[in-house]
A = this chain, B = another copy of it.
Amino acid sequence: MFQKIKPKKISDEVYEQIKSIILSGKLKPGEKLPPERELALELGVSRTALREAIQRLDAQGFIYQVHGGGTFVKTITNGILDSAIEEFVKRDEAIFDLMEIRKILETWGAYTAAQRATEEEISNMEKFLNEMFIAKERGEIGHLSDANFHLAISHATHNVMLIHLMKNLFYWIEKVSYEVRSRMYTNPESHADLYQQHTDVYIAILERNPEKAYNKMLTHMEYIVCELNRIFKKNKKI
């Protein structure tokens, strides 16, 4: 009934106004904003509050500033700059933290999928497995099918939290798959190894063998971590 009142900072209001003007097209990419001192007067605020708004606009990729030159609207084709989670996952170290999380979630996921998967869900896994095979034969990377295969397994757990988690992590799962797969692009044997590992997981789920599914997924995850260690030339405790 009652909404919590969140008082707005002056710099927040300035930020919203300038952002709105940019997004509406009134200020176009490359165009210059009025000089800070002038704009502050126009808005009826101090340079401090204006600059704080401008820092936020800068951080999110709307504008850029040239010392002594002026403040300009950025072209938005580059998109908004990375959020905190994107900055976080971008780092090599975070990939290993993510792999630790994935290992525990996805081994359990395989175990539980072997118990709970419907025929349709198993078919869905097979579909992505087939796509990986085709990609292998064609010399394609196949990272999208790989990530989708893992997502299909999480669906088969019927755990809505895991499904949401895996869906939201999908972009980074795909990225990891890409990193690993593009390195073994030229090595058909590794490609075949990877395909075999996914097949082993699939067969264990098909056989309704939870322990086997768990172990096969564990083997796969550890293989990925090894490859990542090789790629990043790092040693991380797992």
Q: Which chain A residues have a beta carbon within 8 Å of chain B's beta carbons?
A: 7, 9, 11, 19, 23-24, 48, 51-53, 55-62, 67, 74, 76-85, 87-88, 91, 93-94, 97-98, 100-101, 104-105, 108, 112, 115-116, 159-162, 164-165, 167-169, 237
Contacts and interface: CB of A to CB of B under 8 A. Distances in A.
B52 A76 contact: no
A101 B159 contact: yes
A85 B77 CA distance: 6
Q: Give the interface SS of chain A, mostly helix, strand, loop or mixed.
A: helix
B87 A60 contact: yes
Contact of A161 (B7, B67, B100, B237): B100
Contact of A59 (B51, B55, B88, B105): B55
A61 to B, nearest CB: 4
Contact of A51 (B24, B52, B169): B52
Contacts of A97: 159-162
23 contacts: A19-B87, A23-B94, A48-B48, A51-B52, A52-B55, A53-B55, A55-B56, A60-B87, A76-B88, A77-B85, A79-B85, A80-B168, A81-B165, A83-B168, A84-B160, A84-B161, A87-B164, A93-B160, A97-B160, A100-B112, A101-B159, A101-B161, A104-B108
Given A23-B94, A56-B59, A104-B104, 17 more contacts: A7-B67, A23-B87, A48-B48, A52-B55, A53-B55, A60-B60, A60-B81, A62-B87, A77-B85, A79-B83, A83-B168, A84-B160, A84-B164, A97-B159, A101-B105, A101-B161, A104-B105
B61 A101 contact: no
A60 B82 contact: yes
Given A104-B105, A108-B104, A116-B237, A87 B56 contact: no
Nearest to A108: B104
A159 B100 contact: yes
